[in-house]
Amino acid sequence: MALSVMIADDHQIVRRSLRRLIEDDERFTVVGEAGDGRTAVRRCVEMRPDVAVLDINMPVISGITATSEIKKRCPGTGVVILTFQLQLDTIRAALAAGAEAYVLKDSSENELFDAIVSAAQGNRYIAQRAAEILVDALILTGESATSVERDPLGTLSSRERQVLQMLAEGTPNNEIAATLNLSSKTVETYRSRLMQKLNVRSFAELVRIAVREGLVDQEG
């Protein structure tokens, strides 16, 4: 079954080109378009696409603000930021807002397609040049692997955080799967991946981390 994609860019010619490019690949189908950030959020709420591909500079609200709203209102929708911008603060803001992927408009079509697939699965995909900027910033600021220990959830994608929170709250796998439009097998994969990323060996340890980091109310 093809992944459903919603495109948002304030230039109609860009949207048309993207639609043709994406729909030429049988893995995807474009279910909607938007010319501004607010409409992008509304389209996602209406259509619940697997992935939203968003520009950053759009009227009404930016792609970054739209990303934050989409992740709150449509947790099952992955977000790909598609832009020319390579500023460190912009990349960080997009990822902090919940975007799974950050891709440049001069990237190859295969890179865009890989980003869409990754976002649909709740996985990170960052274009090489953007990733290099993030790595350089870590080196220059003296950050290291110890930052992961200080902020263990910082290594998780927004989808992984969602799954961790629901697991820690005691939500059954089948309910998590239904809520996030995943298969039960994929939820199990997320659980295993979370334990690996957070370096824990038991589900109880996983829950303790979620509570400690504020994902779950201790009284809940």
Angle (CA) 132-138-141 rounded to 5° is 135
Note the pLDDT of residue 157.
84
Q: Global pTM?
A: 0.68
CB-based contact 89:75 (threshold 8 Å): no
Q: Which fold has domain 3-138?
A: Rossmann fold (3.40.50)
Output the pLDDT for position 139.
66
Q: Determine the pLDDT at residue 12.
A: 94
pLDDT at position 148, please?
44
CA–CA separation, 152 and 142 (whole Å): 18
Indicate if the alpha-carbon torsion angle 12, 24, 43, 72 is positive or negative: negative
Alpha-carbon span 82 to 91, nearest angstrom: 11
Q: Where are the domains of the chain?
A: 3-138, 146-212
- Given this model, what pLDDT does residue 63 score? 95
CATH 1.20.1250.20 fits 146-212, yes or no: no
By CB neighbour count within 10 A (0-12 exposed, 13-18 middle, 19+ buried), where does 185 fall? exposed
Q: What is the pLDDT of residue 44?
A: 97
